[in-house]
Homo-oligomer: A and B are copies of this chain.
Amino acid sequence: MTDSGLALDPTFPQGFRAAAMAAGIKPSGRTDLSCVVSDEACTWAFAGTRSTTAAACVGRNRELYREGRPVRALLVNAGNANAATGARGVRDNADMAGALGSVLNVDADAVLTASTGIIGHPLPMDRVLGGVEHLPEELGTAAGPFAAAIMTTDTRPKLAQATLSTGARIVGTAKGSGMIHPDMATMFAFAFTDARVDASALREAFPAVVACTFNAVTVDGDTSTNDMAVVLANGLAGDVDPGEFLAALEGVMRDLARMIAADGEGATKLLTVRVGGARTEAEALTAARTCCVSPLLKSAVHGNDPNWGRVIMAVGRSGAAVDIERMTVSVQGRPVFAGRPLPYDEAQVSASMRAEEVVFEVNLGVGEAQGEAWGCDLSAEYVSINADYTT
């Protein structure tokens, strides 16, 4: 359904254009200020961090989402999270949106904002506002420059897309390097579609899509102050089957989620944990996520150690209901536990873990519900990068 990776530099769905520039927010001089603008008003859906210290952009978008009016643009800066910056940060965030609205000649409340980067430093507003003034000059249909401009410590841009049977398209971008980010407020996911999607249906369905895609990625257990996922639908490609659309959106978001997990700092492989036989889907997902966040299991995966005792430990810690006598665990398709330890060739299973993706399958033995989560391995390089970051 999704054809991510086929087109390395896709264009946006019809009616969407993006611009990116280097406004001088990132010390590296890379592009750091970008926007996506829709010719038509968009229905949209939003999911923001559950952090109780959420940044100004999350708070403002959430408020706009409550009001429920259509939006026209999304303005993003990377390099500064504008989080924990007090009343000044709230004003700066509103001023960013107002400035772009003014240049585009749309209402400020039709402009969403997203900031990512260091926490606790005021935005350099002269550079932001100076950049915004010239951003519309750069508008074009390529998605690549936007995907690059929203990165912080990501090593590569993250793009995924899907085409529906009617020809309507979904293009998604995300940022987040999946592991610990020094000072970084971590994850954004933005999806754009020219399908015509009913606003209330989209709002209703979006939380479930986020739950089984982005919320199933876990890398260090830290929830950022700025995390958000947004989908904008401008309707230019006309009506689509709602079920087909949601499945395609979920596919795009799952691809992006796996890209985030695989691009962890110091990560050498993707960790996938599939849990079945659970009492509820929520418990299956919790058990899978707890495995993916476990430093013990992540270390074992890095060392190609088929250390299934750590899966037993992590599942037990998750609180999900388990019948340990009926519980099963397999590593790379090889059964290693079924109510009791099973004999297996450790060297052979270890060799099978020298792969781009390591998959654990777990059955909890108490029901029928399933869930899947993604993470990455934990390497010494990762800690070196982060522990050596200092003043």
Chain A residues engaging chain B, CB cutoff 8 angstroms: 49-54, 81, 83-88, 118-122, 180-183, 185, 220-225, 293-296, 299-300, 302-310, 312-322, 324-325, 327, 337, 339-341, 346-347, 350, 377-380, 382-384, 386-391
Question: Of B84, B308, B309, B340, which contacts A324 at CB under 8 A?
Answer: B84
Please tell me how many copies of the chain the complex holds.
Answer: 2
Known: A88-B340, A299-B383, A390-B305. A222 touches B294 (CB 8 A): yes
Judge whether A387 and B303 touch: CB under 8 Å. yes
* Shortest distance between the CB of A96 and any CB in chain B (Å): 18
B51 touches A180 (CB 8 A): no
**A32 → chain B, closest Cβ, in Å?**
18
* CB-defined contacts of A83 to chain B, threshold 8 Å: 309, 312-313
CA–CA, A242 and B57, complex, Å:
53
Q: Besides A84-B324, A223-B317, A303-B389, 6 other CB < 8 A contacts? A: A120-B309, A183-B307, A220-B295, A221-B221, A299-B386, A303-B388
Contact A391 B306 (CB under 8 A): yes
**Which residues of the other chain, B, contact A322 by a CB distance below 8 angstroms?**
52-53
A-B contact pairs, 19 of them (CB 8 A): A50-B319, A51-B316, A52-B316, A83-B313, A84-B309, A84-B341, A119-B309, A119-B313, A182-B296, A182-B299, A183-B310, A220-B295, A223-B317, A224-B313, A299-B387, A305-B389, A350-B391, A380-B380, A383-B383
User: Which B residue's beta carbon lies closest to that of A324?
Assistant: B53
CB distance from A40 to the nearest CB of B (A): 36
Determine the chain B residues whose CB is within 8 A of the CB of A183 once the complex forms: 307, 309-310
B389:A86 contact, CB within 8 angstroms? no
Bound complex: CA A181 to CA B300 (Å):
11
